[in-house]
Amino acid sequence: MSETEAPPPIKGVAVIETALETMPANPGVYRMLDAKGDALYVGKARSLKKRVTSYAQIARLPERLRRMVSETVSMEIITTHTEAEALLLEANLIKRLKPRFNIVLRDDKSYPWLMLTEDHPYPQIAKHRGARTRKGSYWGPFASAWAVNTTVNAMQRVFLLRSCADTVFANRARPCLLYQIKRCSAPCTGRISEEDYGKLVGQAKAFLAGKSGVVQQELAAEMERAAEALEFERAAAVRDRIRGLTHVQSSDVINPASLEDADVIAAWQSAGQTCVQVFFVRGGRNNGNRAFYPTHGRAEETPEVLGAFIAQFYDDKPPPPLLLLSHTIAEQELVAEALSLKASRRVEIAVPQRGEKHAVVEHAHTNAREALERKLAETAGQAKLLDGVASLFGLPARPLRIETYDNSHIMGTNPYGVMVVAGHEGFVKGAYRKFGIRGPIAPGDDFAMMKEVLQRRFTRGLKERAEGASPEDWPDIVLIDGGAGQLSATQSVLTELGVTDVKLIAIAKGPDRDAGREWFYTAGMEPFQLPPRDPVLYFLQRLRDEAHRFAITTHRAGRSKAIRVSELDEIAGVGAARKRALLNHFGSSRGVKMAGLGDLEAAPGINRETARRVYAHFHPGVRMEEAV
């Protein structure tokens, strides 16, 4: 450092002091940015000027914040009307920007909901993810697909609601198997009137709203009326529904009777890491639980981590009326005010000390502890395996990122390449990538497919690396499924791109294709095998098998999507509404193709001009006069 250059912390302090000259005393959010314009830290304040002034007092800051100030080259602020609004904005920006010096919740998964449609005379019950574009009632969230599927099954058993798609419903001629096993009332074939089906839907909504006692009384009265009228078969059917309802509303610490709509959130900290367990309770029933592991500095205490988690967790989902926590968090009243603002109703935050609610929180606390202990044990085991890989292949240090590649296609159709990633905590599924092969490539040319995938991945990676991307995004090892030929082809691609700091390994099964007798190929070493029960062999097999699994599922999804593309999409003037009308009436695109012109003209929602256009598309050589 030259004599004219100020030490980095002084530079950062100068940036902050300059920003303070025009900074208002309003509530708001501030961002500290590095030389690349990336956010180092996002914070909120009741008074921006007063809060940011503290960062200029460098001697009073802990080492972590001194380092942050030293890297700050500019600041940005956003003012808000209230501190509660600032808290919500802060959580949104942290989750989106993932600043290095913040506690960050990494939650990139969507949550499933239970949906009762409202755009059909006979509403459908179904699992739903994503945007709520369809008119209906939504109940949730659920922690997992398993939890919502269990609830759907219970709802079918008790309320006999249909789960089939509208297109299937419109084309049923006789009841399906669900009717035979008493899981559906078969409205598709008129086995129940619209009015009676509406009563079932009403009971289902009451049950989901936590009014299961009212529903049970209604069913008991209905069973008695049927018995008095000597309709014993109907009485037995209602009795079975009551039994099903009794089964799903059993109450204990997992399904607390005193809770209707609440989230139970507990945190456990150990070895500088934190696990946060969230239990979703809706309508007095447990909708499942999920574990989270926020990233944070080792000095962050549990209440601080928990407070940051809650603000970010509800950034993209509605909070329930009650949150039960294991720890009292800082600014608890402010967080409750912010969540109430977001939900447009009162949200209460409590830390119960006794009773059933305390037992529920303790149960979540135990789950958080056990989940973190398992994670730490797995991480320790993973570290030993990575050390074994480093020793086996002569790496100077433990690999932090291993990328495994594979391809999948059927006779060259719907070709996809994939990349799966593993690190010190196991598989990093958020880093997985899919590559739709663009070509042109000869059908089944696996070498060309792999070449395209690697070129695309490392061309982009080199660009991001030049722009200052994190070293964690660059692999130490590339693992491919294949032998010496695949190794040579892959090495040529990396050499052509100028990638020389990645260890390339090929794993190939022996002539008999037996797992456990794989051969390993890498530059500078003769091909070799590992003992059948070697833990490192199992680890490398898992990497290869995970890439193969991901490639197969990606290919199947792409193939299914291609199959779903109807030939009707190719007809000019036939939009989504008319396509739906044709498919609903004829059952499939093949049915439309086989239909006569008169049948097309008679289809609901299809005018004469559209019918002729569709008929001409499937019968290009036939004149309309001959078709009539």
| DSSP codes, 330-371 | TTHHHHHHHHHHHHTS--EEE---SHHHHHHHHHHHHHHHHH
Residue 291 pLDDT exceeds 70: yes
* 255/351: higher pLDDT: 351
Rounded to whole angstroms, how far apart are CA atoms 618 and 613?
A: 9
Element (H, E) at 147: helix 145-159
Residue 42 pLDDT exceeds 80: yes
Q: What kind of fold does domain 402-562 have according to CATH?
A: Nucleotidyltransferase; domain 5 (3.30.420)
* 242/432: higher pLDDT: 432
Specify the pLDDT at position 8. 55
Residue 412 pLDDT exceeds 60: no
Please say whether the beta carbons of 478 and 504 come within 8 A: yes
**pTM (predicted TM-score):** 0.71
Q: Do domains 262-374 and 402-562 have the same CATH topology?
A: yes
Domain borders along the chain are 8-97, 113-248, 262-374, 402-562, 567-627
In the numeric block, which tokens belong to residue 213? 């006692």
* 346/271: higher pLDDT: 346
What number does CATH give the domain 8-97? 3.40.1440.10
User: Measuring CA to CA, which residue among 564, 560, 553, 561 is closest to residue 434?
Assistant: 553
- Select, from the ranges 106-110, 484-488, 581-585, the one with the highest average predicted confidence (pLDDT): 484-488
Which residue spans within 382-438 are E strands per DSSP? 402-410, 413-423, 426-427, 433-436
Percent of the chain with pLDDT over 70: 89
Q: Tell me the pLDDT band of 249, cut-offs 50, 70 and 90.
A: low
* 464/501: higher pLDDT: 501
Residue 6 pLDDT exceeds 50: no
Specify the pLDDT at position 74. 94
Specify the pLDDT at position 229. 75
Rounded to whole angstroms, how far apart are CA atoms 47 and 77?
A: 12
Mean pLDDT, rounded, for 505-521: 77
* 380/564: higher pLDDT: 380
Mean pLDDT, rounded, for 509-519: 68
Q: Which one of 3.40.640.10, 1.10.150.20, 1.10.1240.10, 3.40.50.2300 gives the CATH number of domain 567-627? A: 1.10.150.20
> 531-540 burial, b for 16+ CB within 10 Å, e for fewer?
eeeeebbebb
Mean pLDDT of the chain: 85
Rounded to whole angstroms, how far apart are CA atoms 623 and 621?
A: 7
Specify the pLDDT at position 560. 64
What number does CATH give the domain 262-374? 3.30.420.340
Rounded to whole angstroms, how far apart are CA atoms 529 and 540?
A: 12
> Between the CA of residue 580 and those of 59, 166, 609, what are the distances in Å?
69, 10, 17
pLDDT in tens, 167-179: 888 888 888 889 8
Q: Tell me the pLDDT band of 252, cut-offs 50, 70 and 90.
A: very low
- Beta strands 519-522 and 426-427 are unpaired
Residue 28 pLDDT exceeds 60: yes
Upstream peptide bond of 121 is cis (omega within 30 degrees of 0): no
Q: Print the SS3 string covering 369-396.
A: HHHHHHHHHHHHHHHHHHHHHHHHCCCC
pLDDT in tens, 53-106: 999 998 888 888 999 999 999 999 999 999 999 999 999 999 999 999 999 998
Please say whether the beta carbons of 443 and 412 come within 8 A: yes
Specify the pLDDT at position 621. 62
Specify the pLDDT at position 87. 95
Residue 628 pLDDT exceeds 60: no
Mean pLDDT, rounded, for 470-497: 89
Specify the pLDDT at position 209. 79
Least confident among 38-42, 74-78, 612-616? 612-616
Q: Tell me the pLDDT band of 332, cut-offs 50, 70 and 90.
A: very high
